[in-house]
């Protein structure tokens, strides 16, 4: 069997369990806005399509929003998440061993995530995962998010 030349992984929910830290940051955001906290399963159901959608869905669930409130909430969220993004986040069991085995086999590895690019890189660094990846690509202004293929094409940078 021929081995692949490269494997591109998603980050959240694939390599790492980050939902508890995302949950904590969204509840910090909601508290700062005078809104009720959300339970972890609710926040998990809101994850996908980037942090902007997580914030929007959380605001909708707790009373709605307009563009100004969304922008304010996103700023609060990014600050809270940036300070604590690896407090509870961990690689899933077996991920480090699997990445090491792929690397030993000469397979190039990359990450393509809807998480903003700098937090994605910071998390991989803090969790000791950066050493496995040739490229870590995250959400960037002006670039469509997954599942749009443009996100994967940005990996060459």
Residue 1 lies in a domain: no
What phi and psi, each to the nearest 5 degrees, are found at residue 154? Answer: -70, -10
Residues 100 and 148 in one domain: yes
What local confidence, expressed as pLDDT, does residue 87 receive? 94
Cis? peptide before 147, omega within 30° of 0? yes
**Residue 17: CB partners within 8 Å, gap ≥ 6?**
89, 90, 91, 92
DSSP 8-state code for residue 12: B
Q: Is the pLDDT of residue 151 over 70?
A: no
Nearest Cα to Cα of residue 122 among 144, 109, 138, 98: 138
* Of the residues 84, 101, 122, the one at which a domain ends: 84
Residues 69 and 102 in one domain: no
**DSSP three-state, residue 82:** helix
Residues 12 and 25 in one domain: no
Which of the two residues, 38 and 118, has the higher pLDDT score? 38
Which of the two residues, 151 and 8, has the higher pLDDT score? 8
Reported as a single tens digit per residue, the pLDDT across 46-86 is 998 889 999 999 999 999 999 999 999 999 999 999 999 99
Alpha helices in the chain (DSSP H): 19-32, 40-46, 51-61, 67-84, 95-104, 117-126, 150-153
Residues 10 and 30 in one domain: no
Q: For the chain, what is the domain count? A: 2
Question: What CATH number is associated with residue 131?
Answer: 3.40.50.1000
Residues 122 and 71 in one domain: no
What local confidence, expressed as pLDDT, does residue 154 receive? 62
Q: Rounded mean pLDDT of the chain?
A: 92
**DSSP three-state, residue 4:** coil
Residues 76 and 27 in one domain: yes
Q: Is the pLDDT of residue 156 over 60?
A: no
Question: What CATH number is associated with residue 75?
Answer: 1.10.150.240
Residue of 2, 10, 21, 66 with catalytic role: 10
What local confidence, expressed as pLDDT, does residue 140 receive? 77
Residues 95 and 72 in one domain: no
Task: Check: pTM over 0.85? Answer yes or no.
Answer: yes
- How confident is the model over 17-31, as a mean pLDDT? 97
Residues 24 and 62 in one domain: yes
- pLDDT band (50, 70, 90) for residue 93: very high
Residue 133 domain boundaries: 6-16+89-156
Instruction: Return the biggest CA–CA distance within the chain.
Output: 57
Residue 147 lies in a domain: yes
Question: Residue 10 catalytic?
Answer: yes
């Amino acid at each position: 069997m021929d081995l692949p030349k490269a494997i591109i992984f998603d980050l959240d929910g694939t390599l790492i369990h980050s939902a508890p830290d995302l949950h904590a940051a969204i509840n910090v955001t909601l508290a700062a806005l005078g809104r009720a906290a959300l339970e972890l399963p609710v926040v998990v159901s809101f994850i996908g399509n980037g942090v902007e959608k997580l914030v929007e869905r959380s605001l909708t669930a707790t009373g709605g929003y307009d563009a100004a409130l969304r922008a304010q909430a996103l700023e609060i969220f990014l600050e809270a998440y940036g300070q604590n993004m690896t407090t509870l986040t961990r690689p899933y069991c077996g991920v480090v061993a699997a990445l090491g085995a792929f690397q030993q086999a000469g397979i190039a590895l990359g990450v393509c995530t809807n998480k903003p690019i700098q937090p994605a890189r910071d998390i991989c660094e803090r969790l000791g995962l950066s050493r496995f990846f040739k490229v870590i690509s995250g959400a960037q202004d002006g670039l469509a998010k997954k599942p749009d293929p443009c996100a994967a094409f940005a990996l060459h940078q």
